[in-house]
A and B are shown apart, each in its own frame.
Chain A
Amino acid sequence: MELTGAKIVIQTLLDLGVSTVFGYPGGAVLFIYDEIYKEKKLTHILTRHEQGALHAADGYARVSGEVGVAIVTSGPGATNAVTGLATAYMDSIPMVCITGQVPVPLIGNDAFQEADIVGITRSCTKHNYLVRDVKDLARVLREAFHIAKTGRPGPVLVDIPKDVTTQITEYVNRSEEVKIRSYRPNLKGHAGQIKRAVTLLKNAQRPMIYTGGGVVLSNASDELFHFTEQMNAPITNTLMGLGAFPASDGRFVGMLGMHGTYEANMAVSHCDLLIAIGARFDDRVTGKLSEFAPHAKILHIDVDPTSISKNVHVDIPIVGDVKLVLEQINKQIESKSFQKSKPDMTPWWQLVEEWRSKDSLAYTQGESAIEAQYVIQKLCELTKGNAIVATDVGQHQMWAAQFYDFDRPRRWVTSGGLGTMGFGLPAAMGAQIAKPDDTVVVISGDGSIQMNIQELATCLQYKLPVITIILNNGFLGMVRQWQEFFYERRYAETDMSHQPDFVKLAEAYGALGLRAKKPNEVEPAIKEALASGRTAIIDIHIRPEGNVYPMVPAGAALNDMILL
């Protein structure tokens, strides 16, 4: 059938199985929005800022595992989307962002609301397209989805000039057919490398499993659990990997890295085999590279060849989809001969338990000032560890990572790579739309929440019962912590104590506003918000100069930790 470009956009999305898009209209996308208006099968969520639309699509993708879709207009709409794209790119989140563009004849003429968004986003998207001919439109959109979700996932941008949305061409549904001759990700692990890996696994006396967001992205939690069971090795997760392995399992030693547990960092520093799975040796994980896992051979499984030996030399690389490679490895290590020839893990576990007994996350909740850790622990207890938790960036993010125990993947929504403040609330909206029956909580700070607080209106419009907990210390807490430790307490521009009354602000939006200033007010406030079924903000005044411990200073070795 013959359709306009605008109709092709919507029809292709529907044929690809998209049911929800997040966006913000504008001049260049008017024809697309006209089709959205007419199409009842596609739900559009109107955010209050384009950045919010991108983060919402991102949150939607993280919890559902599907490709998140955002639509924004040209120029400022597109540039507002950049932070959302960069956030998704750093965390490998499958997303497609459709941007309007000025009509083809005006491109390059500095037209009203023109921005070279393909040029701008080249380095923060997995790929991007400018569609100059309506005949390419459906194919490009299909390719965009294919690229976004296969291999190492990532955001793809499709820039569509306004005149292309009015032109007419023949449309045929070909959702399954995507062939890009220059793009064929390697998914299955090389058999020879698997064999070499199994030999290493068999001989390791002090194996340590280190897993990242790749396990979540490839839906490999079951395979990882089985692998860890067979290996009977301690396992640590990166910030992005939390939930991929149950925190309640005894083999889990917590997060590693800058704010990782003592036992996780010590185990990495002392292991003789580091098994890195879907992780990329980020500087926040490794600390000083020359002293990272100094006694270990390194086995690295990752779908992206560029992640291998980028920061740390890898002894046995296996390029492939984490799920498939773990299946391949699991088949071999299940055998009796493997299990029989494996060294006894008892001495290694004794060491790990010794480190664990240091209880590096310990804190004391006194009578007067509220400790942030206590709030997260209460939240975890009251939600039975079952909430979807989104965060912004800073101290509250690290406390949430340390104290909320995730037993399942895709419940933890945080900007790990880019570290985007203002991510939490919009991402939580996307998560709530993907999982309408689940409890969704944002853990934020008084700094971060103000970066996208306008999205409260979106929550109210769509009746999303997202609960935002503001850990309010009147500071940009993480920067203040660094200033305290490394800049002789010169608190340059980190005092945020001039702030709105968050309770009244919540009420102004039509949300429930609650406050806790004393430890005994925390639990009732969280309970009330959970019971209300409404969009809620809980303003919790925590000890102003509380710090995140343990801490590995930037550039120091992992075993060189500041403990409380």
Chain B
Amino acid sequence: MRHIISVLVENEAGVLSRVSGLFSARGFNIESLTVAPVGDGETSRITLVSIGEDHIIEQIIKQLNKLIPVLHVADFTDGPHVERELMLVKVAAEQAQRAEILRIADIFRSRVVDATPSSFTIEVTGDVGKLDACLALLMPLGVTEMVRTGQVALGRGDRSMAKG
């Protein structure tokens, strides 16, 4: 099963390598991983997506907690949460297809962030399903390049991760 795991860590040199090294050393799988400093800049928040059976995910969470610079670990999969990913797609846009591309962009409430006479670059935000659906429509029109950020997530409600 797919799990979105948030890891709050001390924002210090080498911490990302400790986390990613743990996954490679123990043979855990990472689908995506994003990281950036948050709050006062003393901490960073890593969001990673992993696919595995429950006991593997349990081991991943325990192993993450065991790393010294890790402050908190949360698995959002079981509880209500909001997840988002951002994707930039460059689509070849010759005259005949320009209107169609803009229509698709509109359907997915995405934005054109760059345009040339022969291409559009579109920014799409949403959960994985939405991004995949949008991409499925754009693909046949000629996607020349794309990038995805990997997912980020927050739990719904008043509770925050740091306060447990």
- State the A residues within 8 Å of B (CB): 118-119, 122-123, 126-127, 130, 147, 180-183, 304-306, 308-310, 313
Contact = CB atoms under 8 A, between A and B. Distances in A.
A422 B69 CA distance: 34
Contacts of B66: 304-306
A310 B71 contact: no
Contact of B14 (A118, A123, A182, A308): A118
A89 to B, nearest CB: 12
Contacts of B59: 306, 309-310
Nearest to A132: B13
B65 A119 contact: no
5 contacts: A130-B13, A180-B68, A182-B10, A182-B69, A309-B55
Nearest to A122: B21
Contacts of A119: 14, 17
B25 interface: yes
A2 to B, nearest CB: 27
A183 B66 CA distance: 8
Given A119-B17, A309-B55, A181 B65 contact: no
A306 B59 CA distance: 6
Contact of A183 (B9, B17, B68): B68
B15 to A, nearest CB: 10
B70 interface: yes
Given A130-B13, A305-B66, A306-B63, 13 more contacts: A123-B21, A123-B25, A127-B68, A130-B14, A182-B10, A182-B70, A182-B71, A183-B68, A305-B62, A305-B65, A308-B62, A310-B59, A313-B55
A130 B14 CA distance: 10
B81 interface: no
B117 to A, nearest CB: 45
Q: Which of B10, B14, B70 has the most CB of A within 10 A?
A: B14
B132 interface: no
Nearest to B65: A305
B133 to A, nearest CB: 38
Interface string B6-32: 000110011001100110010000000
A367 B40 CA distance: 78
Per CB-CB distance, the 9 closest pairs between chain A and chain B, nearest first, are A306-B62, A127-B68, A182-B71, A123-B25, A305-B62, A183-B68, A122-B21, A306-B63, A306-B66
Contacts of B71: 181-182
B20 to A, nearest CB: 10
B58 interface: yes
Nearest to B10: A182
B12 to A, nearest CB: 10
A182 B69 CA distance: 6
A147 B18 contact: no
Contacts of B10: 182
A314 B17 CA distance: 31
Contacts of A304: 66
Nearest to B58: A309
Interface string B48-87: 0000000100110011011011110000000000000000
Contacts of A310: 59
Contacts of A126: 68
A257 B65 CA distance: 30
Interface string B123-149: 000000000000000000000000000
Nearest to B43: A182
Contacts of A183: 68
B68 A122 contact: no
Contacts of B65: 305
A311 to B, nearest CB: 10
Nearest to A147: B68
Nearest to B70: A182
A118 B63 CA distance: 19
Contacts of A118: 14
Contacts of A181: 71
B69 A122 contact: no
A438 to B, nearest CB: 35
Contacts of B14: 118-119, 122, 130
Q: Which of A126, A130, A305, A313 has the most CB of B within 10 A?
A: A305
A547 B22 CA distance: 38
A305 B63 CA distance: 8
A305 B60 CA distance: 11
Q: Which of A126, A306, A309 has the most CB of B within 10 A?
A: A306
A33 to B, nearest CB: 27
A122 to B, nearest CB: 5
B94 to A, nearest CB: 47
Q: Which of A182, A183, A304, A309 has the most CB of B within 10 A?
A: A182
